[in-house]
Amino acid sequence: MTNLLARETSPYLLQHADNPVHWRPWGPAALEEARRRDRPLLVSIGYAACHWCHVMAHESFEDAETAALMNDLFVCVKIDREERPDIDHIYMSALHAMGEQGGWPLTMFATPDGAPFWGGTYFPPAARWGKPSFKQVCHAIDHAWRTQREQIGRNAEAVGAHLAELSASQAGAAIEASDLARAAHAFSRIVDRDHGGIGGAPKFPNMPIFRFLWNEYFRARDVDAREAVRGLLAAMSEGGVYDHLGGGYARYSVDAEWLAPHFEKMLYDNAQALELLARAHADAPTPLFAARARETVDWLMREMRAQTPAGRAFAAAQDADQDGEEGLFYTWRAEEIDAALGPEAALFKDAYDVRPGGNWEGRTVLRRVTPPGDAATEARLAAARAKLFALREGRPKPARDDKVLADWNGLTIAALAKAACVFDEPDWLAAAREAFDAVDATLKDQAGDLAHAWRGRVSAAGQLDDCAAMTLAALALFEAGGERRFLDRAAELARRAEDLFGAGDGGFYLVSRDATDTPGARPRHARDNATPAGAGQMAQALTLLWRLTGEDGWRIAAERALAAFSGARDQLPMSPTLLTAADNMARGRLVVIAGDDGERLARIARAAADPAISAMVTRDGADWPAASPAHGRTPVAGAAAAYVCENGVCGLPIVSPDELQREIRRA
């Protein structure tokens, strides 16, 4: 009996390798031990950058008395939710089925075969805030296991039946414009018009929802949707949730005003923010959005590159805590600002809400509270930020979770490719290409299929989200640079997704048909969370493959993927990515640029703000097969020409960049 986590590669699991708890990684060996000892599983799920995960670890898992109790009563399993999102999804869904609010750390008790029967999130070391102590919970579960085994069995069966129901087919008729309008109206009602975002405290970015609202702006000419997106981006970009010195957005704000974040920075949040910033800037050039996009990319390149044998990809996250204190690295005291900036301190403190007593727990979270000044003022503030950044670099840095995740890298690659086109930054596109090639070459399982997680070795099998996000990443790279190999790879990934994850009705399961260690029913859903659902991303990828290749098989696959989750009409607002894919299926347009000198036209098409606009290039139409919309598209009188194609029909050639811009912007 010992802690086995030292054998793992996940930074989160390694954080717990010295705990006196006899942690096991998830797998058949842990379940076999539970059966042999006739003990429940105590499953604890978190991630490396999670503040409250650290708190519970310090309070309970590092405490010898608590650990001894856990070791005696349970087989204890520790899971990195980022490494095993499939297991996290199952147990989080079980927690919701029990009527509990989700979050991390997730604490779940399960039978020896992995069936969940009771759970919660964070439990304190002593009873407070209306919560029992963690030791009380452990004793209560042990008592129930010994005296109420039949009731536990019934609970586990009921939860399992509910999870199976959630994974059942919900196929229906085609998604219509009225479904999109209904979802947009529902979201519009809960948007915070004063502070940006949705709801009150705590406040999350909810990027898939706002990506859908951005799509709605173009579909329905819904100016309210446009302002909701711009309001979110502006509020986050000026608030404390943004790192004004080093770039990048924190995961969420504990208040309604985006002042005080949980300071962890997640790759997926920043990827989705970058794409929205680029599209919003493309629609209406905005200095704030341009600055935040460039600063966020600077952060990605400086802090988040992760070396693999095949090149640099992107790491998963930066931690919230430093020396056991949340936000210590990022926050300031007024006297520190005074000492660092001298006579420039007054201007900076006024602009960034630096107060004598701080604006958050005795310290200051920097946020921009004054409007933009003249060029000279902004130059002074930039110099002050640079000085404070250099000073901050001397502090001990928060830990970085440097594992490479295929799905989050896919989101980042696609965002970088789009931003590179909008801001005319070829180096960003080069970084996106390098990351794609690194992930595609390094994250491979024994069968050669895309894996999910890598840190020195592959540590988790590929899932639907990985295949879907990397397919979209390949398509984004193809559109941004015109390299045929990326379109070919996207088609390969999509075909493999159908084979490994296809449900037979056009929909997709989250885990492969070869998965052997997922408890209960094989999960499937199209509901977005902090990241877009794999099913929605896959529908979008199939739609784009049809548009870019002209092959009817992709159209049929896309229609089936959309219909596979459309039966529960009242639940469609929970799947904004799927709804966006449905609109792009109906409304999407492809701009084909023909000619060797078509770079000006290509830049306009590739930088389009409307997500339903795609782009591809050809020399003279002869370099693509007959099914391709590019086939037969030729320059005009030796000059490059653009053809705008919709529903398989291409318009007359356009040679004027201004005319192409007008055509792209028409309703």
Mean pLDDT for each consecutive 10-residue tract of the chain (667 residues)?
A: 94 97 96 97 95 93 97 97 95 92 93 95 90 95 95 93 87 95 96 95 96 97 97 98 98 95 95 98 97 98 98 95 83 97 97 95 96 96 98 93 97 98 98 98 95 97 98 98 98 98 95 90 93 98 97 97 94 97 96 96 97 96 94 95 93 96 87
- In angstroms, what CA-CA distances link 207 with 134, 213, 504, 520? 34, 10, 30, 30
Using DSSP's 3-state secondary structure scheme, residue 400 falls into: strand
Helices (H) and strands (E) in the chain — how many of each?
24, 21
Using DSSP's 3-state secondary structure scheme, residue 206 falls into: coil
Q: Which residues lie across from 590 on neighbouring strands?
A: 614, 645
For residues 229 and 210, the answer to whether their CB atoms sit within 8 Å is: yes
Q: Given this model, what pLDDT does residue 667 score?
A: 59
Say how far residue 362 (Cα) sits from the centre of its chain.
32
Task: Give the CA diameter of the chain.
Answer: 87
DSSP conformation letters of 22-84:
--EESSHHHHHHHHHHT--EEEEEE-TT-HHHHHHIIIIIT-HHHHHHHHHH-EEEEEETTT-
For residues 94 and 116, the answer to whether their CB atoms sit within 8 Å is: yes
**Domain 5-166, CATH homologous superfamily name and number:** Glutaredoxin (3.40.30.10)
CB neighbour list of residue 193: distance below 8 Å, 6 or more residues apart: 231
Alpha helices (H) along 570-622: 576-587, 599-606
Q: What's the rounded Cα separation, in Å, for the pair 396 and 400? A: 12
Q: Given this model, what pLDDT does residue 539 score?
A: 98
Using DSSP's 3-state secondary structure scheme, residue 625 falls into: coil
For residues 122 and 52, the answer to whether their CB atoms sit within 8 Å is: yes
- The residue to which tokens 């604490």 are assigned: 107
Q: Given this model, what pLDDT does residue 130 score?
A: 80
Going by the DSSP 8-state scheme, the letter that residue 104 receives in this structure is S
Q: What's the rounded Cα separation, in Å, for the pair 222 and 217? A: 4
- Cα angle at 510 between 400 and 171, to 5 degrees? 140
**Between helices 85-97 and 149-166, what is the axis angle to 10°?**
110
Q: Count of CB atoms within 10 A of residue 244's CB? A: 22
CATH topology of domain 178-321+401-587: Glycosyltransferase (1.50.10)
Q: Count of CB atoms within 10 A of residue 517's CB? A: 15
For residues 500 and 467, the answer to whether their CB atoms sit within 8 Å is: yes
For residues 407 and 267, the answer to whether their CB atoms sit within 8 Å is: no
Cis bond before residue 105 (omega within 30° of 0): yes
DSSP conformation letters of 134-198:
HHHHHHHHHHHHHH-HHHHHHHHHHHHHHHHHHTS----SPP-HHHHHHHHHHHHHHB-TTTSSB
Q: Looking at this protein, which amino acid is placed at residue 654?
A: I
